[in-house]
Structure 1
Amino acid sequence: MPQMFRHRGFTGRIRRNYPMKKILKWTGIGVLAFAIVIIAALLIIPMFVDIQDYKPRLETMVSEKTGRDFAIGGDLELSLFPWAGISFSDLRLGNPPGYREKIFLSIESFDVRVKLLPLISKDIQVKRFVIEGPHLVLEKSSDGKGNWEEFGERREPEKKTATETQQEPRADMLPVKTLQVEECAIKNGTVAWIDDAAGTRNTLSELNLDLQNVSLDKPVDISLSANLDGRPLSMKGFLGPVGEKPGTGPLAFDLALSALDQLNLTVKGKVTDAATAPRFDAAFDLSPFSPRKLLDSFSVPFPVKTADPGVLNKIAAKGSITGSTEKISVNNGRLNMDDSAISFTVDAGEFQKPVLSFNMEVDSIDLDRYMPPPAEEAEAASKPKKKPDPEAGIDYGPLRKPVINGTVQIKNLTFSEARVSDLSIKISAKGGRYNIEPIELAAYEGTLKAGAILNVQKDTPSASAELNIMGMKINPLLQDVIDKDFLDGTLKAQMSIAFTGDEPNAIKKTLGGSGELLFEDGAVVGIDMAGMVRNVTASFGLSDKPGEKPRTDFSELIAPFTIKNGVVNTSGTTMKSPLLRLVVTGNANLVTETLDMRVEPKVVGTLKGQGDTKERSGLAVPILISGTFSEPKFKPDLKGIVTQGLKLPKTEDLKKALPGGDEIQKESLKDSAKDLLKGLPLKKK
């Protein structure tokens, strides 16, 4: 029995395996034969099929789709094995009517070759992808329309069903397992930009782009070179690796850009989730360059004229930048501009508003150097201004959207020749209300604290401001800012003002507020009131003037004031000096630029107790001030003298003081009495 079983079992195995061998044998032969047939077909088809016959049909189809002339002037070649490839030469795509250039895009030659059989396993092996002599012309017509717009007929996008949407491949599902490219390049390309309205043309020529080590698992080396209007431009670096699931993981990059023999910029960082929710994180470093020299190399005049033509001649920047489609941040930013070093951080989001926060610190800056030249300011002021259209108005809608929160700190600042230190400003805005507070600074041995509010929530804006000054030396401030020497002393001040409107006349008509100016231990320079009040002749400059510059010392000068509808009123400005007391009442109308004031001096009898025993009594003549800011008028208040029962001066002195007296004396009176007000910055600008 065992032998039978073994024999039968052996015989059974032979009977079962013998047909299987035959099946495997003939299956292998069939597959091999099929492969040979396919390969033969791939080799033979290009020999018997003339692809040139399809070129007219291809040209017609592209022309219909784009609405532009399309032609392939050279041969169209096709290969299938071992490399599937297509090549052509002399491709031309035309411009639509109405443009200066006839050709939109031309390509001298194009050649791409991909290994065929590995495609079955999603293995992309590219032997060659080369575009030679591409020429692209981007032209903007005089009516602002670009030749890159409106290709063919516009079609409404088809609505997709929920099933179709679900079946769409995700961005991270690239149908490629591996990728290798031996040669990938653009050679001798040209891109031209033409602006018909501006009459300009810029050309990027000799454009060469070479990509090495193109794959999914290695960084791609990038080398780009070109000439922009004959000036060199280059970029080198790497990008990647892309990874097996492109668009999902981090994509690193490290690029160095050199342009125009002026700009050198390096950018290093990464992009994450580029296909779904792109985010980036990069560091940038812009080496010092001269914006003036950069534009001058293009024979383009510098767009900004500055008081100092040497500024904006050196710019450098560096920092790190992170962001996404919803937010962008700049951290550790540093900008070097001429002699100033500026550090900053910026966060921006909700770009449709936007929401913006920032912090800026400046070591020192002279803003006067960056202002327009004085000649241009004077020319602009002399030009007649167009009367605003009352119906047009200003659209403040865009100013109601931003949400802002920021600070500015400047260690040393020069503005309008004033020298300021430790300036600190905080700015916030929301819903059209801009708060600029606090504003703090130190200047001229004193301090200033202020705040301002601008409200554009309504069509007519309004603004208010508060100011407090402590211990500021007024004379060096006035000499620096307005080059006038008419007042000395230490200033303490507080004031608040408010106005409505966005046009100068409206602002002046609605201006209101109040405040007080206090000057201590100072002097009114340019006029000797102590000598003037002793007699009419001296009061109005009819006596001989001393050689040195006259001045009136005071221990205290207090000027309280109120403002209503553009009229500044003081009910009791007082000045106390060792010899006299001075009281000023009246108003200055900012709308009509007129003066209506009265100066009443009161003489102290002696200076006993101050080292002087001489009797100092004399006639104190009140002074009336009228006229305009640019042409003030002065005259003695004779009615006030009579009303107060003061002792009249001698007839000849009074005659010289009254209008109609000697003309030379009148001119002397006018010149001397104007000294004080001429020093004040009241003239209309």
Structure 2
Amino acid sequence: MRWLFRALALVVLIALSLGGALLLIPSKKIAQIAEARFEAATGRKMTLSGSVHATIWPQLGVRTGPVEIANADWSKDGPMLSAKGLQIGVDPSALIGGEVRVSKVDVLSPNILLERRKDGTGNWEVTPPDAATSTQTARPGPGEGGGMTAFSLDKAEISDGSVRWIDHASGQRLALSHLDASLALPSFDGPARLDLTGQVEGKALKVNGTLESFASFLAGDPAPTDLALTLDASSIGFKGTFGTAPLAAKGALTASVKDPTALAAIFGQTARDLPKGLGSDTITAKGDVTLGADGAMQLRGGKLTLDGNALSVAGDLSFAKGKPRIDAQIDAGALDLSALTGASGKAGAGGSSSGSGSGASGWSTTPIDASGLRALDGKIALDASSIDFGTAKLGPTKAQITIDNGRAVADLRQVSAYGGSVTGQVVANARSGFSASADLVAKGVSMQPLLSDLADYTRLDAKADLAVKLLASGNSEAALARSLSGSGNVAFGKGALEGLDLVGMLRTLDLNYVGEGAKTIFDQITASFTIAKGVLSNDDLALKAPLLSAAGKGRVDIGAQSLDYTVTPTALSKADGTGGVKVPLSITGPWAKPKFGLDMKALSGDKVDAAKQDLKAKAEAEIAKKLGITPQEGQSTEDAAKQKLKEEAAKGLLKLFK
């Protein structure tokens, strides 16, 4: 890029070198001499149309007619630069002392074309004819400006200009219009100040910057730089060193990007929409950066904000495979990543999220947008105080996340979740459609809030130890639920099954012990299960409760959110577990509002009456034992209890009167 500055400076110097002969030599001859000198210095043809003449008022100097600089021979898009003319002013007092000091340069309505060929060659890379025949070109020394004669410039201005950028490798095209710029260079070896305004695709652009050593920068060497750029509502600031041969920078960076997708569109990029929480609306950053020639960047002491997620970051950004790769250590507070699962709220059995579609089962049918997984690769070590995935919530988390070509693997090393701990691995794969898998071991997890978040199911209140292996594929919650497969086992400690009172139901053989307020208190539940095509199957559920035990088997259709399950409770069994009253209970229908019924195939007619009588007899025997009474022949336990109560009352009265 520095060759562009050199080319413009050459135009100025050539015009000035001819200034002493302007009154003696015809303007046409002057133009020919200037054109020849420029082509000898750059290898590019320059054309000066119209006259080249000296000006005395309002400023001593030189004025040219239209100027045109030829493009590279491989370009087909017109000249590299064309302008209505140049107006160059000199300092009269310096001129009297024998020094040519440029006080002002105006480039009138320039149109600049910058192109990059498919092989990476830029049209600004000019080669003098003599250098083209040499195998090696000496690197300019400090203060030489790349072989250019030193000059100073009080002020150079561009008014009403335009710049077009064409990248033939990527097809990107960019247009900068309404360009007004000024450059101050009091000393060739000293600082240079640039101020620029314009519009990019109709969006306001503003650039202010200072280079502490113009000659070093022009030679490609790193130079102290202070730069501020604003485009629309986004801004970037940099203070450090910057060089162009090779491209390199090191210093403090601050950035605030509003609507990154729209900003990328300004530069002709069709960037994928970032998920909410990963920078879809706002990205802010600050820290110490190091930029390499290949676009690679290092960030140390970084503070990064992605929408509402605040992160402390130390990492490296590279483009080895043509897209961003991030290797980083991230420390964060509470992270909201609910958009990664497409969850903006619950879409469980009670209905779907507001604004989202849902199937008959209640699972959302809204397509899951996992395109963010394909936007970058990387390996990220994460330490967060909490993470909200929308469908699940984690507490303090230490994990390593590896993303490779749309496949993200989260190794959970230390995760607190729902009052317990979780270890294992979770995979989200967006390479072809979307799929997810999990291989997890959980200890002491509270099932009521977990199932509430995952499936809007709140009837099971207990802590559990759980081991599962799951796999699902599909582009919506409904599709994932219908395709779910896997296996696992679970053990619940003391808790309650809400909405169902097995003890009351068994005691009375009345199915009305269901609904709000009804619950079964238990000491332990264990079970194992398999899942195929969204249907969970189990045949070894075992429940132990203070007044009963129960066994269960059946199916849970996760895709349809329905049940077909049989629980067989046993009450008043013997100490060895044998005997007792068994009443099979069927649970069917949607799990949000299941139906309960006695299994009439196993218990009907006389068996019901016999069970009632047996249960009643055993209950009365237990009462009699507790009260220490023995009913006489033909006497009920109730009458015996009343008789004993009367006898006890009479004894109490006699003691009182005595």
Kindly, what percent of the aligned residue pairs are identical?
Answer: 23
Residue type of the alignment partner of 1:473:
S
Residue 445 (structure 2) pairs with residue 472 (structure 1): yes
Residue 586 (structure 2) pairs with residue 624 (structure 1): yes
Residue 488 of structure 1, aligned match among 461, 467, 473 = 461
Q: Does the residue aligned with 1:379 lie in a helix, a strand or coil?
A: coil
The Cα offsets for residues 180-221 of structure 1, whole Å up to 9 and x where unpaired, read as: 22331113556799xxxxxxxx99776432211254310102
Residue 213 of structure 1, aligned match among 180, 185, 196 = 185
Q: Does the residue aligned with 1:362 lie in a helix, a strand or coil?
A: strand
> Residue 628 of structure 2 corresponds to which residue in structure 1?
none
Residues 358, 531 of structure 1: alpha-carbon distance in 2 compared, 3 angstrom cutoff: same
CA shift at 1:622, angstroms?
Answer: 0.9
CA distance in 1, matches of 2:386, 2:139: 56
> Residue 268 of structure 1 corresponds to which residue in structure 2?
239
> Residue 529 of structure 2 corresponds to which residue in structure 1?
561
Residue 541 of structure 2, aligned match among 573, 577, 586 = 573
- Structure 1 contact 475–489 (Cα < 8 Å) conserved: yes
Residue type of the alignment partner of 1:470:
K
> Residue 422 of structure 2 corresponds to which residue in structure 1?
448
CA distance in 2, matches of 1:366, 1:432: 20
- Structure 1 contact 46–78 (Cα < 8 Å) conserved: no
Residue type of the alignment partner of 2:105:
F
> Which deviates further from its counterpart, 423-432 or 323-332?
423-432
CA distance in 2, matches of 1:513, 1:52: 83
The Cα offsets for residues 221-254 of structure 1, whole Å up to 9 and x where unpaired, read as: 2223457899975433311413368435322211
Residue 397 (structure 2) pairs with residue 423 (structure 1): yes
CA distance in 2, matches of 1:40, 1:462: 74
CA distance in 1, matches of 2:247, 2:149: 23
- Structure 1 contact 359–406 (Cα < 8 Å) conserved: yes
CA distance in 2, matches of 1:648, 1:523: 27
CA distance in 2, matches of 1:223, 1:41: 32
Residue 105 (structure 2) pairs with residue 129 (structure 1): yes
- Structure 1 contact 216–244 (Cα < 8 Å) conserved: no
Residue type of the alignment partner of 1:578:
P
Residue type of the alignment partner of 2:64:
S
Alignment of 1:601-640 (within 5 A): 601-605=569-573, 620-626=582-588, 634-640=596-602
CA shift at 1:563, angstroms?
Answer: 2.8
Residue 237 of structure 1, aligned match among 188, 209, 228 = 209
CA distance in 2, matches of 1:531, 1:445: 31
CA distance in 2, matches of 1:105, 1:75: 17
- Structure 1 contact 208–224 (Cα < 8 Å) conserved: yes
- Structure 2 contact 365–477 (Cα < 8 Å) conserved: no
CA distance in 2, matches of 1:161, 1:604: 108
Residues 49, 598 of structure 1: alpha-carbon distance in 2 compared, 3 angstrom cutoff: closer
> Residue 224 of structure 2 corresponds to which residue in structure 1?
252
Residues 171, 461 of structure 1: alpha-carbon distance in 2 compared, 3 angstrom cutoff: farther
Alignment of 1:222-371 (within 5 A): 222-225=194-197, 234-243=206-215, 246-257=218-229, 265-272=236-243, 274-275=244-245, 277-286=246-255, 316-326=284-294, 327-336=296-305, 340-352=309-321, 355-367=325-337
CA distance in 2, matches of 1:592, 1:227: 55
Residues 191, 434 of structure 1: alpha-carbon distance in 2 compared, 3 angstrom cutoff: closer
Residues 517, 407 of structure 1: alpha-carbon distance in 2 compared, 3 angstrom cutoff: same
CA distance in 2, matches of 1:589, 1:256: 59
Residue 21 of structure 2, aligned match among 39, 42, 47 = 42
Alignment of 1:43-122 (within 5 A): 43-47=22-26, 49=28, 76-78=51-53, 85-88=62-65, 109-112=85-88
CA shift at 1:561, angstroms?
Answer: 1.0
- Structure 1 contact 555–577 (Cα < 8 Å) conserved: yes
> Which deviates further from its counterpart, 552-561 or 238-247?
238-247
CA distance in 2, matches of 1:382, 1:635: 28
CA distance in 2, matches of 1:323, 1:407: 22
The Cα offsets for residues 302-332 of structure 1, whole Å up to 9 and x where unpaired, read as: x999999xx9888643112212123221222
Alignment of 1:486-565 (within 5 A): 486-498=459-471, 511-536=484-509, 538-539=510-511, 541=512, 549-564=517-532
TM-score by structure 1 length?
A: 0.60
CA shift at 1:161, angstroms?
Answer: 14
CA shift at 1:469, angstroms?
Answer: 1.4
TM-score by structure 2 length?
A: 0.62
- Structure 1 contact 77–87 (Cα < 8 Å) conserved: yes
Residues 373, 137 of structure 1: alpha-carbon distance in 2 compared, 3 angstrom cutoff: farther
Residue type of the alignment partner of 1:568:
L
CA distance in 1, matches of 2:344, 2:258: 21
CA shift at 1:339, angstroms?
Answer: 5.9
- Structure 1 contact 46–79 (Cα < 8 Å) conserved: no
Alignment length, in residue pairs?
A: 528
Residue type of the alignment partner of 1:406:
I
- Could you tell me which runs of 5 or more consecutive residues in structure 1 were left unpaired when the two chains were aligned: 1-37, 55-64, 94-103, 139-145, 194-201, 388-393, 608-616, 654-685
- Structure 1 contact 519–556 (Cα < 8 Å) conserved: yes
Residues 361, 222 of structure 1: alpha-carbon distance in 2 compared, 3 angstrom cutoff: same
CA distance in 1, matches of 2:407, 2:355: 33
Residue 406 of structure 1, aligned match among 371, 375, 380 = 380
Residue 138 (structure 2) pairs with residue 178 (structure 1): no
CA distance in 2, matches of 1:577, 1:179: 95
CA distance in 1, matches of 2:19, 2:310: 72
CA shift at 1:463, angstroms?
Answer: 6.0
CA shift at 1:510, angstroms?
Answer: 6.9
> Which deviates further from its counterpart, 632-641 or 441-450?
632-641
- Structure 1 contact 208–225 (Cα < 8 Å) conserved: yes
- Structure 2 contact 457–592 (Cα < 8 Å) conserved: no
- Structure 2 contact 162–178 (Cα < 8 Å) conserved: yes
CA distance in 2, matches of 1:449, 1:227: 52
CA shift at 1:358, angstroms?
Answer: 1.6
> Residue 13 of structure 1 corresponds to which residue in structure 2?
none
- Structure 1 contact 306–372 (Cα < 8 Å) conserved: no
> Residue 552 of structure 2 corresponds to which residue in structure 1?
584
CA shift at 1:529, angstroms?
Answer: 0.9
Residue type of the alignment partner of 1:322:
T
CA distance in 1, matches of 2:462, 2:477: 32
Residues 404, 483 of structure 1: alpha-carbon distance in 2 compared, 3 angstrom cutoff: closer
The Cα offsets for residues 619-644 of structure 1, whole Å up to 9 and x where unpaired, read as: 542123455668866543222237xx
- Structure 1 contact 178–244 (Cα < 8 Å) conserved: no
Residue type of the alignment partner of 1:491:
A
CA shift at 1:46, angstroms?
Answer: 3.8
- Structure 2 contact 365–476 (Cα < 8 Å) conserved: no
Residues 492, 360 of structure 1: alpha-carbon distance in 2 compared, 3 angstrom cutoff: same
CA shift at 1:423, angstroms?
Answer: 1.6
Q: Does the residue aligned with 2:601 lie in a helix, a strand or coil?
A: helix
> Residue 19 of structure 1 corresponds to which residue in structure 2?
none
- Could you tell me which runs of 5 or more consecutive residues in structure 2 were left unpaired when the two chains were aligned: 1-16, 34-43, 71-79, 166-173, 267-271, 346-351, 614-658
> Residue 412 of structure 2 corresponds to which residue in structure 1?
438
Residues 232, 329 of structure 1: alpha-carbon distance in 2 compared, 3 angstrom cutoff: same
